[in-house]
Amino acid sequence: MTVGQGQFSDEGHSTMTEYQGRIVLGEDTVAELADRIGGSVFAPEDAGYAEAVAGFNSRSRQRPCLVVAAAGAADVRTAVAFAAARDLPVGVMATGHQPFPAADDFLLVTTRAMRTVEIDAERGVARVAAGALWSDVVEPAQAEGLAPLNGSSPLVGVVGFTLGGGLSPFLGRSHGWAADHVVAIEVVTPDGELRRVSPELEPELFWGLRGGRSNFGIVTELEIRLFPVTSFYGGGIYFPADNVEAVVRAFPEVVRDAPNTFTCSVALLNFPPVPEIPEPLRGRFLAHVRVTHLGSDEEAEKLIAPFRAIGEGILDTIGRHPYGAFPIVHTDPADPFPYEEQGALLAELPAQAVDSLVESAQLAAGGLLTVLEIRQLGGALADRPVAASPIAARDAEFNVWGATVGPPEVVDAGMAMLGGMVERLSPWSTGLAYTNFAGRDDRAENVFTADDLERLRVLKRHYDPRNLFRVNNHNVAPE
């Protein structure tokens, strides 16, 4: 059945009212939508609503007037047409990792149930539905001897990660941004139409989606390239607090002139004293060196020799691993928690910037900041392929990112500390943030170059002149 705006009668408008400043949809209106949805529909008073709106970041607060838990692309079309007929803003969420500003009175489409993955080994392509996680893709791809441009966590959604640029700590420096390796996209635009876009089909929309995320519609499926990789040499080393300064100062030496097959980052971590943390790390301030290499074991060990010279770590997982063991490198958390984050892109990392990072490490030790990371970029991440997607991080050599976890007062104090650290690095900053590591208050102007943002605005005026898709993204306003 074709679903369009015209199939929702104007009678539905009469049952959309306001109560105490909130939009309230009448029972008949909700029932009309629920009858056409294969998945589930939740109003604020329904059991299951709280679970439906909850994301991985439990600090985020969203109060949509309606949630559509889509079972497939047809449900997405129906939901978008319903919202457009009532001039309701639309947001989309799969896992809800990234913090976005609080939002009320919109229609939220969740894609968690849409996790189909198909591997076309002959083409070297994965066809991935909107709610698929990286764990859903890596395993079947590895069965064919292939790997995607995945991130560090198996629990992050493929679509959100990729449409935000897609920084892979495994294949990024050798192959570039995940967004640049999208083959085709299926997307429901604000008119309720399901479109297939590619370099040949609506190329301007294809360009804008690969970086502009949900500003132009809800992506229901991606086709992404895969690469012949089955193992890597890498892992992590946890160094005690006494070695933190030495680790920070060794980092520029390690990454300088490193081949594109090698990627490194250093995270300064304040581990809480809780049972979920392994005993050797619990309640300690540590430096976590993260390493991945697609070349030989011997070459990798030569590259990380400056770290080895510091001494033995508390825990060392560096070695040859099957690609499916990729979570061992960053050991990202698996359970939802409340946090805020902030990132900045650095054009260079001279000695003065390293001194600033050392000072930040000293301030962070035992404090309220949970993590401060410096990550190597460059390599193929600096390339600009034909019709390169709008990713502002190509000119950066490093990304600095931090986060604080905990109750509101802890998070607020930790973020104030992080803000000062980022500000001290501003002489070497590009002035922009990488989309997927941006903070809750960052806007489109903070994650896109001026030229790309103007081009995105033209695209927005064409596909979404009413700016219906303005929730859960760095919104590109039509004007």
Q: Does the pLDDT of residue 10 top 60, yes or no? A: no
> 270 and 377 share a domain?
yes
CATH of the domain at 297: 3.40.462.20
Model confidence at 32, in pLDDT bands (50, 70, 90)? confident
> 224 and 238 share a domain?
no
Q: Does the pLDDT of residue 242 top 60, yes or no? A: yes
Residues in the chain: 479
Least confident range of 4-18, 258-272, 375-389:
4-18
Domain presence at residue 396: yes
pLDDT of residue 103: 84
Domain presence at residue 155: yes
> 56 and 171 share a domain?
no
> 362 and 295 share a domain?
yes
Nearest CA among 143, 141, 171 for reference residue 295: 171
Nearest CA among 308, 314, 260, 264 for reference residue 285: 314
Q: Does the pLDDT of residue 386 top 90, yes or no? A: no
Tokens of 278: 């392994």
Q: Provide the 3-class DSSP secondary structure of residue 41.
A: strand
What is the C-alpha separation between 150 and 167, in angstroms, rounded?
A: 8
Domain presence at residue 16: yes
pLDDT of residue 339: 93
Nearest CA among 369, 367, 375, 392 for reference residue 451: 392
What is the C-alpha separation between 417 and 342, in angstroms, rounded?
A: 11
Mean pLDDT, rounded, for 345-365:
96
Cβ atoms of 68 and 108 within 8 Å: the answer is yes
Mean pLDDT, rounded, for 99-109:
88
> 289 and 435 share a domain?
yes
Domain presence at residue 447: no
Q: Does the pLDDT of residue 278 top 90, yes or no? A: no
> 98 and 27 share a domain?
yes
Q: Which of 68, 93, 110 is the last residue of a domain?
A: 110
% of the chain surpassing 90 pLDDT: 87
> 397 and 415 share a domain?
yes
Q: Provide the 3-class DSSP secondary structure of residue 424.
A: helix
Model confidence at 23, in pLDDT bands (50, 70, 90)? low
DSSP state of 137: H
Q: Does the pLDDT of residue 61 top 90, yes or no? A: no
What is the C-alpha separation between 137 and 158, in angstroms, rounded?
A: 8
Model confidence at 35, in pLDDT bands (50, 70, 90)? very high
What is the C-alpha separation between 425 and 353, in angstroms, rounded?
A: 6
What is the C-alpha separation between 208 and 391, in angstroms, rounded?
A: 10
